[in-house]
Structure 1
């Protein structure tokens, strides 16, 4: 277990590493020509130091809050560590945030300066700047912000920066991260340097062996999670602290991400289940186009059985894969499994997944295909992971055991409570909300869960999302939605039924998957309005619903559903930036469709 830090702040390792091993490759940076170039620990230190000087020259002082509104990119990491070097606090803002959301976060955090990625972001901030009297500076990355600040700080002595850095203590605030919030205004989680140091050092100490593709090779990861989210932020800090080569990718679309995975060739990745689903479904579609759907599906079954047998052996429940199963697994290695790994860059043998639940069968498939996915669970309020599956014994379908130094307690009503040095100190300017979740150092998460006999946690839903039918049956929608979404044609599923006679669902489809499905059946492309009335598509979705219903009682089952023409999007206010469903907003937007389910 990592010990709680006694001195210093997050930026210190940048300078320590550059002194210890100045030529070590610390980061990879993709140039405008598309070529990846190495950045040494000394080069990174020099960039952080130069930017820190520029921030001081522009009036940023110890304790000031500076917002960063950008996609995931190299400059964000430089800014983060430069701000921490001078004792300032970063306030991440999702690049897709609306003007009112931007206003609220910058106003509530009393931000004095803001970094944006491009002109559109600058215009968003500009549209509310008259209501932000404390905001004095606005820098734009695509307009040369880093060069501008570096030039401005050229005359400042190094020691001025280091005096600021040495004044940072573990209990200093490092960042204020606003929860994306499925309801109400976002709340600012105050996270200290100590919170993040304990969190990342614990993850490094316990999981460092899985950062490597094989023993002794260079550990590297490509960060494509949003840095505005606590998960992405934890990855950024852990990579720098853990001497893991870090690259940045701003787009999670497969068409953009997969080429960079191939070029950067990370040794492990950290992602949300959505990414693993996309990789799997892309491989399945490719096999179907090549007329090899049957063999691919057989390979999936073999991988799942192989991984399940290994899991049983790890827990003392069986002898492991049989000789026949090992032969079948070996047969599909070159034809299927190696190609799946190749799509992830070729070197990945381990991955971490968080943000939402992963289907057990999907996790078993990747394990059988040679990529162990360690699922974990955490919140912004816990500086990211609070539980994770251990390297030696992964139990698929669970979010693992408490990370070292963390305690998990299940309250009488099933709510998950957490305790540890990574738990935040409270919400900015909101003591009432803080008191509602923090009780004698324990965080009441609002999530429902259960611990098994080995201490593995399974998340079963959210307290606020429990549906109660008019017949009095309580239903947790998360499990049902996850099972329906496992179908390759389904993009999203929301279960409804509160104060209604039965459970029903609204379903959106994956457009790319549907186009492939139509082509393979030699059917003409359909407009979204026509697609939702297609009887063959309805039959496919019905199969997904029937499969999901097998896991619940009749009273909890989905009785009817409706396919929607368009997906739920963040732009329409129906998803949070971390892709969680905004249930009330969706039910309001689709009132007519929901009511039609009960006629």
Structure 2
């Protein structure tokens, strides 16, 4: 284990200790495309300190809120680290956010300056009329770029002030205000301290998530804490962060070229990879294993995943392919990661054990409760929600789960997702959806039935797999019949429909981290759902 600086501000100005080793790898010298280009730790340290000193020169004060409205990239991390060093707090904003969502986050957080990375994000901020200072992560987007900010920091007085501020930051100071992805309601700003985030990345280092000298591939949004703490781990350990395309068509070629050792991802990525290599039923099992290893560059030591359950057969397949997928659990209010698995300590289907410094337990109602170093201090401007989440010394997660005798946690669903039928039966949809989605033909399956007489299902199909099935509708019927045989009568699927489109971020039916926005799906397809309860649709025989 490396020495872990006491604050993220101290970490931000410590990069030079790793010398000429690559800190970041991206396409082109500016990260906007071209051949792969490395930024050494010495270069990164200079960039961060110049940018931080430039923020000081601009009048940014300790405690100020600075937003980053951009995709993951080297410049994102430089800005984030510079903000830490200046004693300010970062407010990440997903690049896919709507104008209304951006307006809410910037106003609620009290942001005074925003970094943007393209004309769309710049135009959204400008349209809000908030009068904020806007800085481009690349030249030419707006009047001033991050390079201009760094030039302001060349003055020795401002550099000295930056280093003094970084040294003065305490573990209890606010490092970031991170807004939840809002799957059920308006997003809430989670206030996280330096100690919260330091505790999380230190715990992940203890689990050997990334090792010194390795390369981690990052394509997840850094506005999500999972990707962000991965970058912090790498920066602490002297590993390389390679920014690869989030476009699925370019992502695999990128991975094949950089040959990463570690890849953090969300379950949807593994489902798509699994479906891709299984789309052709004539392909042999051994060919599928070899194809998977080759697509990922040939030297992946492990994946990390969280956010939703992964089918056991998918986990078993990746383990057999020699690229183990190790699951963890986290939430923004808990610093991003609470439990994790390790290559020498895992149980397939479990999300691992609590990180060092964390405690977990299950309440009498079956709810997962979290305590320890990563638990946030509260919601921005929302004392009522804070009081509801932090009770009796524990963070109430809203997740249902169980902990086995070895301390391994299994998540079984969300309290808010429980379906209560008109007959009063309580049904957890997640395990049923998990089984419905196991077939390569199924891209996503969603169970509905709250306040209805029985359960029905909505499906999206895998475009790569559909062409290999003569009658996809009949295949869906067989999937449902098989799953129904394992369920009690009151939770069996009676009717179903195939949706005309895949769920997506653009349609508002997926969050930026690929989680299903259940309420949005129910609203968007309300008429289609109603048809299933008006004796229109295709009934499935219940055994």
TM-score range, shorter chain: over 0.9
Encode CA deviations 1:318-357: one digit per residue, 9 max, x unaligned: xxxxxxxxxxxxxx4xx44333111111110311111211
Contact 1:8–1:166 (8 Å) recurs in 2 = no
Unaligned runs of 5+ in 2: 535-543
TM-superposed deviation, 1:250: 4.3
* 1:368-447 equivalences in 2 (<5 Å): 368-447=320-399
Q: Secondary structure at the match of 1:207?
A: coil
Q: Report what 1:226 is aligned to.
A: 221
Whether 2:531 is the aligned partner of 1:583: answer no
Cα distance in 1 for partners of 2:446, 2:124 equals: 31
Unaligned runs of 5+ in 1: 297-331, 522-535
Q: Secondary structure at the match of 1:378?
A: coil
Whether 2:258 is the aligned partner of 1:264: answer yes
TM-superposed deviation, 1:397: 1.1
Contact 2:278–2:288 (8 Å) recurs in 1 = no
Q: Report what 1:255 is aligned to.
A: 249
Encode CA deviations 1:344-384: one digit per residue, 9 max, x unaligned: 11110311111211111111111111112111111011112
TM-superposed deviation, 1:140: 5.0
* 1:144-223 equivalences in 2 (<5 Å): 145-157=145-157, 158-208=159-209, 211=210, 218-223=213-218
Cα distance in 2 for partners of 1:369, 1:202 equals: 27
Whether 2:227 is the aligned partner of 1:236: answer no
Q: Report what 1:559 is aligned to.
A: 494
Cα distance in 1 for partners of 2:108, 2:60 equals: 18
Q: Secondary structure at the match of 1:581?
A: coil
TM-superposed deviation, 1:271: 0.8
Cα distance in 1 for partners of 2:425, 2:409 equals: 25
Q: Report what 2:57 is aligned to.
A: 57
Q: Secondary structure at the match of 1:370?
A: coil
Cα distance in 1 for partners of 2:525, 2:438 equals: 23
Cα distance in 1 for partners of 2:384, 2:412 equals: 27
CA gap of 1:433–1:242, structure 2 versus 1, over 3 A, is: same
Q: Report what 1:78 is aligned to.
A: 78
Q: Report what 1:533 is aligned to.
A: none
Contact 2:456–2:493 (8 Å) recurs in 1 = yes
Q: Report what 2:448 is aligned to.
A: 496
The structure where helix makes up a greater share of residues is 1
CA gap of 1:551–1:89, structure 2 versus 1, over 3 A, is: farther
Whether 2:533 is the aligned partner of 1:598: answer yes
TM-superposed deviation, 1:245: 0.9
How many equivalent residue pairs? 527
Cα distance in 1 for partners of 2:197, 2:315 equals: 28
After the TM superposition, list the runs of 4 or more consecutive aligned residues in structure 1 that deviate by more than 4 angstroms: none
Contact 2:302–2:343 (8 Å) recurs in 1 = no
The answer to which of 140-149 and 257-266 deviates more is 140-149
Whether 2:332 is the aligned partner of 1:352: answer no
Q: Secondary structure at the match of 1:507?
A: strand
Contact 1:21–1:41 (8 Å) recurs in 2 = yes
Contact 1:14–1:44 (8 Å) recurs in 2 = no
Cα distance in 2 for partners of 1:238, 1:544 equals: 42
TM-superposed deviation, 1:549: 2.9
CA gap of 1:396–1:447, structure 2 versus 1, over 3 A, is: same
Q: Secondary structure at the match of 1:190?
A: strand
Cα distance in 2 for partners of 1:579, 1:90 equals: 23
Cα distance in 1 for partners of 2:112, 2:268 equals: 36
Cα distance in 1 for partners of 2:192, 2:362 equals: 24
The answer to which of 188-197 and 138-147 deviates more is 138-147
TM-superposed deviation, 1:156: 4.4
Encode CA deviations 1:523-553: one digit per residue, 9 max, x unaligned: xxxxxxxxxxxxx121122233233334422
Q: Secondary structure at the match of 2:78?
A: helix
CA gap of 1:435–1:33, structure 2 versus 1, over 3 A, is: closer
TM-superposed deviation, 1:142: 5.4
Cα distance in 2 for partners of 1:355, 1:223 equals: 16
Q: Secondary structure at the match of 1:181?
A: coil
Q: Report what 1:275 is aligned to.
A: 269
TM-superposed deviation, 1:463: 0.6
Encode CA deviations 1:31-58: one digit per residue, 9 max, x unaligned: 1452212222111101101111222222
TM-superposed deviation, 1:79: 0.5
* 1:303-342 equivalences in 2 (<5 Å): 332=286, 335-342=287-294
Contact 1:61–1:86 (8 Å) recurs in 2 = yes
Cα distance in 2 for partners of 1:497, 1:118 equals: 42
The answer to which of 103-112 and 577-586 deviates more is 577-586
Query: What is the RMSD of the two structures over their aligned residues, measured on CA atoms?
Result: 2.1
Q: Report what 1:449 is aligned to.
A: 401
Cα distance in 2 for partners of 1:51, 1:2 equals: 26
